Structure 1
């Protein structure tokens, strides 16, 4: 199957001010976030991407544009970002737009930290539903990319912290209640390969480094005992 790069959007005005943005309109990258998105795009430009999908939130669209611009700058075929509703930010309901320091006082915060599978945000969605819609979407898109471009194709999904953590938890075989053990920073790149036997998590929360190894042909025969020789 193809290889998926999960990119969190760059830092936003809400991140910097300690507000839970959720799906609030008009939340955009700040100056730091713009720089972060450009760096992520430049890293990904080491390999041509077959498809680029993004959450419909503006901050993700901005980050996806930086990825597309870097592809064009590197001489790769032009790629247009496609909006995917299933990768939208979690619907935090009444929590949306609230200062984090105030949400810390809510008894639900403790459940979010310790048992997220039991959380349903007031006026919003449950974290179980959030994970299910995102996992279903990336597996569907990955299968389509593989069918169209082959098992060596690389594609990019730009989304949000909790969405990416939920996707990584699923790929790692972790229960949703353990997903808070995973950290995903703004504009970080994580890598999953959905092979026929199982998902393989190749990288998480990376900020720097060469990604040209993604050009290597995927290994056959499952996980190599002892770890193998790595990509060539």
Structure 2
């Protein structure tokens, strides 16, 4: 019953210029992104974070380094499986140009069938492959965190928009073809608690809210969510 906080990296110049950065090297945070991650650190400092694991890409490493400082003082680990989708020949191209490609409609309407074109410079994969590796990484690390730090432990995975959307779609029990319905903005926090019965999605795309309620005592039944809701279909 550990909880993972899925933190997207802060804003970059690629975000503002409409370029698909992918695995392009040396894409770091812009001034707004740096401010965003400082704000994220303030929100996370109220929680007993057990581990921080990041994508290897610079924008995520900078985000992870920013939030790991201060009172947290936690070393940043790197897991390549949290890296951005490998877009192959789409890497570094303008979104406005890619939107004219037939593959764009597949990415938007049937992501599970989208396979990005090969490139001599950048590796390529399908969105389904990206989803599988990311979900496997998050679930594997989550189990490790619980085993090492106990039920109720909290950890942070620093990653990318499409990767986090895929993890959330899985946690929600949705098909990958529905993942474009999910919005994950720069430096936003989404939260998932995995239990023996099912995952609970506690936050999606939260860029300003208080995170303190995520630190709760675990429920041995595996049924309860933070705040005492049982998921039994009753509400006030």
- TM bracket, shorter-chain basis: over 0.9
> Aligned partners of 2:126, 2:3: CA distance in 1, in Å?
28
Q: Distance in 2 between matches of 1:214 and 1:112?
A: 33
Q: What SS class does the counterpart of residue 50 from structure 1 fall into?
A: strand
Q: Does structure 1 residue 86 correspond to structure 2 residue 47?
A: no
Q: Once superposed, what is the RMSD of the aligned Cα atoms?
A: 1.3
1:171 and 2:166 correspond: no
Query: Given the alignment of the two structures, is residue 141 of structure 1 paired with residue 141 of structure 2, yes or no?
Result: yes
In 1, Cα distance between equivalents of 2:130 and 2:233: 36
| Deviation readout 1:123-165 (Å, 9 max, x if unpaired) | 1100110000000011110000000000111000000000000
Find out whether 1:119 has 2:114 as its counterpart: yes
Distance 1:215 1:177 in 2: 32
Q: Which residue of 2 aligns with 1:106?
A: 101
Q: What whole-Å deviation, never above 9, does each CA across 1:66-120 have from its counterpart, x for those lacking one?
A: 1101xxx23x4x3111010000000000000000110011011011000000000
Q: CA deviation at 1:214?
A: 1.8
Structure 1 residue 216: deviation in Å? 1.4
SS at 1:102's partner residue? helix
What corresponds to 2:192 in structure 1? 192
Q: 1:87–1:137: 8 Å Cα contact kept in structure 2?
A: yes
- Residue 154 of structure 1 aligns with which residue? 154
> TM-score, normalising length from structure 2?
0.92
Gaps of 5+ in 1: none
**When the two structures are superposed, what TM-score results if normalisation uses the length of structure 1?**
0.94
Runs of 4+ in 1 over 2 A off after TM superposition: 218-221, 225-229
The aligned residue for residue 96 of structure 1 is 91
Measured after TM superposition, the shift of residue 32 of structure 1 is 0.4
Residue equivalent to 1:213: 213
User: Which of 220-229 and 154-163 deviates more?
Assistant: 220-229
Whether the aligned pair in 2 keeps the contact of 1:9 and 1:159 (CA below 8 Å) is yes
Q: Secondary structure at the match of 2:49?
A: coil
Q: C-alpha separation between the residues in 2 aligned to 1:66 and 1:219?
A: 32
Q: How many Å apart are 1:219 and its aligned residue?
A: 3.5
Gaps of 5+ in 2: 119-123, 225-229
Q: Is the 8 A contact 1:191 1:203 kept in 2?
A: yes
Retained in 2: the 8 A contact 1:185–1:205? Answer: yes
Give the C-alpha shift of residue 218 in structure 1.
3.0
